[in-house]
Chains A and B, each alone.
Chain A
Amino acid sequence: MQTYDLEADGLRGLNAALQAQATETNQTVWEVVNPRGSHAIAVGLDAPIEVNVKGSTGYYCGGMNKQATVHVHGSAGPGVAENMMSGTVVIEGDASQYAGATGHGGTLVIKGNASSRCGISMKGIDIIVHGNVGHMSAFMGQSGNLVVCGDAGEALGDSLYEARLFVRGSVKSLGADCVEKEMRPEHLEMLADLLARGKCDAKPEDFKRYGSARKLYNFDIDNAY
């Protein structure tokens, strides 16, 4: 295992070392100590390595991740795992705003709560939140899945495209064009898999599914003439 002291050795050295790992690397496990809320920790990785961050992170931890597993043993600042392509990011604590924003793939697991705009503009990522999510979560979500084991704040799924939202607790309000949808067997199956990946102790049957009413897909034009 490699240990990197972020406070002593600096951000550039960390990201350069992690980004230099090739797919067939044998330096597969890294530990980052003294993160102290620094921004842009472990961004742009592209190898199947495991990075354990021992503490809390600032903005954009795990940004644009491919292949790697980034595990934050603390809480994460805004935009954690933003634009992730593949791989896994796990947050032991809470996540701030825009967690998983615009993610194209991979899995983001938040063991605590996520703040507002969780999964904003998501494009294929799977996000599993053990706790609650704040307002405007999954705003303009295009594809992927957002699973919330707790409650969702106001305007969930506003202007949603094809992302699927599953919430176990209450939803304060649904955003424009977001509606509750029937939970069919294929959804239960999908949800069971997501819950297993997120290591959530929850039953798929206890969730409700939300999705796009698809009424905003086209402009409303009066064609009477």
Chain B
Amino acid sequence: MTDKPQTLPIQSATFTQEVNAEIRRAAATGIYDIRGGGAKRKLPHFDDLLFLGASMSRYPLEGYREACGTNVTLGTRFAENPIELKTPITIAGMSFGALSGQAKEALGRGATLAGTSTTTGDGGMTPEERGHSNKLVYQYLPSRYGMNPDDLRRADAVEMVVGQGAKPGGGGMLLGQKISDRVAEMRNLPKGIDQRSACRHPDWTGPDDLEIKILEIREITGWKIPIYVKVGGARPYFDTTLAIKAGADVVVLDGMQGGTAATQDVFIEHVGQPTIACIREAVKALQDLDMHRKVQLIVSGGIRNGADVAKCMALGADAVAIGTAALIALGDNDPKWEAEYNKLGTTAGAYDDWHEGQDPAGITTQDPELAKRLDPIEGGRRLNNYLKVMTLEAQTIARACGKNHLHNLEPEDLCAVTLEAAAMTKIPLAGTDWYPGKPGTDY
């Protein structure tokens, strides 16, 4: 040892510990990192927007006494039976296979208690979720696992999945550990294989084909139920325009923070646009076609609380969808399983190896012993409570902005706290009346 002054060891901001660990992992295994969840990097998000609240020129509504509506009707364009929801917070499509039967049941129970809808996923419709979901949206995916006309007619709406925010342009993945007998049978696959489902629909390609495909599905379901089109946040203006042209009743737009059951990490972190960057573009497409509020817009991707919900609505959405947050409400990543997370080499809050099927919380698994840890009735109660809180939070904000319905929130209620968020949402930077690219300004 010497007393001579030394420099401190400096960790590289480029080659961080995480980056180096991933290089070593790749070097050892020869396979890319697969994980669940959404983008973990910091991105411009709803936290970069604030509400202004009422002031001299806007009256607030009385916090607890004056009504502030939260209901929404989805699918008013062509469907004979649009979907009526009490809260605009819906449960996003998550597959049986990725999730246990108990988790699907809990989602159905919670959504039903809260007066909202839940959604099937890449793996078909299970009797548990149909039975426990008052309103169930049936996904029509490229894989068509378990797709059949009886379930189609049992559904309250159909969601044509073109893409997902976590992986626009990518297909599904369900690794061998989770292909149990039941999952294999529902998907008509050999047990235990690493299933990679198609990224493109097998029997249509462009928007002109989709229009005919939607016609076929309407003919099979007698024009009764709404047809949604779900797109990942890639080119929201054009994707929304083309979905409307193809005949969608509802457009579901999922930004890059959106979760997935399993995908390559490189895909999750490097493909797609942040959720807040997508919303105004989609709304502009709706407005340009005079379809805003006629074709409803559901936004998802990183929604966590009532403020996020209110911000989506203010930017022009009709409703939102949650995936990851719903799983956390059920108990995913709960610190009470810390010892078991540690055994899996991770920690509560960071656990994302959902594809491995060893979820200590019993949610993203097909292991019957682990799955038993989630009581679907208790899970449903927790989800309902959480949905209730989010709805109350959104109402609180709407009243403070003087709005008697969440749908009356508007861009003028917001300001942005970062330049990036201002540019992406065309909401003025706080303290200014300007956002980058504002017409009439040179910058």
Contact = CB atoms under 8 A, between A and B. Distances in A.
A142 B188 CA distance: 7
Nearest to A103: B144
30 contacts: A12-B223, A39-B212, A39-B215, A43-B216, A43-B219, A44-B152, A44-B220, A59-B216, A63-B216, A64-B152, A64-B220, A78-B209, A82-B202, A82-B203, A102-B202, A104-B148, A117-B202, A120-B203, A121-B202, A139-B202, A142-B189, A161-B190, A217-B194, A218-B176, A219-B31, A219-B175, A219-B194, A222-B31, A225-B28, A225-B29
A130 interface: no
Most A-side CB within 10 Å, residue of B29, B149, B175, B212? B149
Contact of A218 (B30, B143, B148, B194): B194
Given A46-B149, A63-B216, 6 more contacts: A123-B144, A161-B193, A162-B190, A219-B194, A220-B31, A222-B28
* A: contact size bracket: 35 or more
A190 interface: no
A58 interface: yes
Interface in A130-165: 139-140, 142-143, 161-162
Interface string B5-43: 000000000000000000000001111000000000000
A113 interface: no
B143 A222 contact: no
B77 interface: no
Question: Which has the most chain B C-beta neighbours within 10 Å: A102, A124, A218, A221?
Answer: A102
A85 interface: yes
A16 interface: yes
B204 interface: yes
Interface string A1-28: 0000000000110011001000000000
A76 interface: no
Nearest to A39: B212
Given A40-B219, A43-B216, A140-B198, A218 B147 contact: no
A142 B191 CA distance: 12
Contact of A83 (B144, B198, B219): B144
- Interface size classification for chain B: 20 to 34
Interface of A: 11-12, 15-16, 19, 39-40, 43-44, 46, 58-60, 63-64, 66, 78-79, 82-83, 85, 97-98, 101-102, 104, 117, 120-121, 123-124, 139-140, 142-143, 161-162, 217-225
A39 to B, nearest CB: 5
Contact of A16 (B28, B30, B209, B222): B222
B213 interface: yes
Contacts of B203: 60, 78-79, 82, 97-98, 101-102, 120
A59 B194 contact: no
B185 to A, nearest CB: 11
Nearest to B152: A64
Contact of B148 (A39, A78, A85, A121): A85
Contacts of B28: 222, 224-225
Nearest to B34: A219
Contacts of B147: 83, 102, 104
Contacts of A46: 149
Given A12-B223, A60-B213, A101-B202, A85 B31 contact: no
Nearest to A105: B148
Contacts of B144: 83, 102, 121, 123
Contacts of B29: 221-223, 225
Contact of A64 (B148, B175, B198): B148
Contacts of B213: 59-60
Nearest to A60: B216
Contacts of B152: 44, 64
A38 to B, nearest CB: 10
Contacts of A143: 188
A203 to B, nearest CB: 31
A161 B209 CA distance: 27
Contact of A161 (B149, B189, B220): B189
Given A63-B220, A222-B30, A121 B215 contact: no
Top 8 nearest A-B pairs (CB, nearest first) are: A44-B220, A79-B203, A102-B144, A98-B203, A101-B203, A222-B30, A40-B216, A64-B149
A43 B220 contact: yes
Interface string B62-74: 0000000000000
A60 B209 CA distance: 11
Nearest to B24: A225
A215 to B, nearest CB: 11
Contacts of A120: 202-203
A217 B193 contact: yes
Nearest to B221: A44
Interface string B194-233: 1000100011100001001101100111110000000000
Contacts of B148: 64, 83, 85, 104
A220 B30 CA distance: 8
Contacts of B175: 219
A82 B213 CA distance: 11
Given A83-B144, A121-B144, A40 B202 contact: no
A64 B188 CA distance: 17
Tell me which of A16, A46, A66, A142 has the highest count of chain B C-beta atoms within 10 A of its own C-beta: A142
Contacts of B222: 16, 19
Contacts of B30: 220-222
